Amino acid sequence: MHAIRTIVVLTGAGLSAESGLATFRGPGGLWEGHRVEDVCTPEALAQDPTLVHRFYDMRREALDTVRPNAAHQALARLDARWPGELLIVTQNVDDLHERAGAQRLLHMHGALRSALCAACGTRMPHAGSLPPGTDCPSCGAAALRPDIVFFGEMPYGMDRIEAALADADLFVSIGTSGAVYPAAGFVQMAAHFGAATLELNLEPSSGSHWFEKSRRGPATRLVPEWVE
């Protein structure tokens, strides 16, 4: 096997679980009786914008109560020290990677502290609650929505992610169930292009069998062990 120069890391909700943010599909994964698959759709936003905005307002508020954990910090150290190419692709919409200091980071499912204009497509930093009907400062339409990739919408940065996967020597997936595409397919893509693959997760995921190596345990233990 050739030397590792280019690393792609994929992270999911399990990485932030030990910071106190609920995962989607484990215990506590329901929100007021709604499945994430029912709230995070363009149809839900059109039919019940108050419900969807409230869900994201609550999640945005929760960010003030949590801090990056040892796994976010270990990945930020990797980012600071790794001399080769690195891309941390996160499905998480929290800001714990950047608060830990990660820079080579891509939020493929959007970000809680960002708003998106459904009329002109401008993305902008946003703190505090975001009531339905807020005017866009760029085009003036009353169309600001949470900057979140809903089911059926195209995740951000797919060209950059696919290029990084094609170039990767090592693909590492951390704290994700492998239930949601296209992220769930990244391991196959990376392996197809010749990368070594490693999964770090509490439990076996839907795609565990695609990985060459898997380690089971909490991210706050496994990630620092892997990085150091």
Binding-site residues sit at: 12-31, 56, 59, 91-94, 117, 120, 136, 139, 175-177, 201-203, 219
Q: Tell me how far apart the alpha carbons of residues 34 and 132 are, in angstroms, rounded to a whole number.
A: 19
Name the minimum Å distance from CB 218 to ligand BJW: 4
Name the minimum Å distance from CB 17 to ligand BJW: 4
**CB atoms closer than 10 angstroms to residue 202:** 17
Residue 73 touches ligand BJW, criterion: CB under 6 A: no
* Helices marked H in the chain: 13-17, 36-39, 42-47, 49-62, 70-81, 96-100, 158-167, 186-192, 219-227
Closer CB to ligand BJW, 24 or 171, in the complex:
24
- Selected from 89, 102, 180, 196, the binder of ligand BJW by CB under 6 A is 180
Q: Which residues are annotated as a binding site for Zn(2+)?
A: 117, 120, 136, 139
Lookup result for tokens 């994929």? 10
Structure tokens at 129: 């609650």
Residue type, 148: I
Q: Tell me how far apart the alpha carbons of residues 1 and 57 are, in angstroms, rounded to a whole number.
A: 47
Q: How far is CA 136 from CA 86, 146, 205, in A?
A: 34, 12, 40
**CB atoms closer than 10 angstroms to residue 103:** 11
- Selected from 175, 186, 198, 207, the binder of ligand BJW by CB under 6 A is 175
Q: Return the residue nearest ligand BJW (CB atom).
A: 14
- Selected from 10, 17, 45, 198, the binder of ligand BJW by CB under 6 A is 17
- Using CB under 6 A, count the residues that bind ligand BJW: 36
Residue 151 touches ligand BJW, criterion: CB under 6 A: yes
Which helix (H) or strand (E) segment holds residue 188: the answer is helix 186-192
Q: Tell me how far apart the alpha carbons of residues 180 and 137 are, in angstroms, rounded to a whole number.
A: 33
Name the minimum Å distance from CB 132 to ligand BJW: 17
Q: Tell me how far apart the alpha carbons of residues 46 and 215 are, in angstroms, rounded to a whole number.
A: 41
- Selected from 19, 91, 114, 197, the binder of ligand BJW by CB under 6 A is 91
Q: Tell me how far apart the alpha carbons of residues 4 and 80 are, in angstroms, rounded to a whole number.
A: 17
The catalytic residue positions are: 109
- Selected from 9, 201, 207, 227, the binder of ligand BJW by CB under 6 A is 201
Which residue ranges make up the site for ligand BJW (CB under 6 A)?
Answer: 12-14, 17-18, 23-26, 36-37, 40, 91, 93, 109, 148-149, 151-155, 158, 175-177, 179-182, 201-203, 205, 218-219
